[in-house]
Amino acid sequence: MLTRLLFAAGLICGIASAASTEESKVLALGLADHEVSLEELEQGKTPLMPQFNTPAVAYVFAADLKKGDTVEITLMNDDRSLLSNSETLLEDQARILLQAGKRGVPAGGWPEGNYQAALKITRDGKPLIEQATDPIPFD
């Protein structure tokens, strides 16, 4: 009887633990020529890429993050950080959209180089997810 009870308790705890432990993941990471909306990403639309004479925004759409996680998205030109945005979560988040960029165009257009969106998510001070888009020139 005690063995059955312990087995059942272990099974229930294992199921509860598995159900509450979602793995954090990146749903979308990219560059856009405008501030991206949640609706746009949820519908699976691919935002237009920035050009030399358009705004440029790096974005990340992530899921299953935990309280205390820090999400940082950076618009990069070659190896230089141009614009960055970060948020430390005050509670668990099923989904989060974070963006960094410029709604306008720099005087004279964007400098030459290859641009990319760089993402870093940390948990308990340790890197959890680090990703970047492929570098692209702004034509």
pLDDT tens per residue across span 34-76: 999 999 999 999 999 999 999 999 999 999 999 999 999 999 9
Is a pLDDT exceeding 90 seen at residue 12? no
Model pTM score: 0.83
Instruction: Report the C-alpha gap between 131 and 136 in whole angstroms.
Output: 15
Using 50, 70 and 90 to split pLDDT, how confident is the model at 22?
A: confident
Host H or E run for residue 61: strand 56-65
Give mean pLDDT, residues 22-44: 94
Position 52 scores a pLDDT of: 93
* Domain 24-137: homologous superfamily in CATH: Immunoglobulins (2.60.40.10)
In the structure encoding, which two tokens stand for residue 72, read together?
Answer: 């940082």
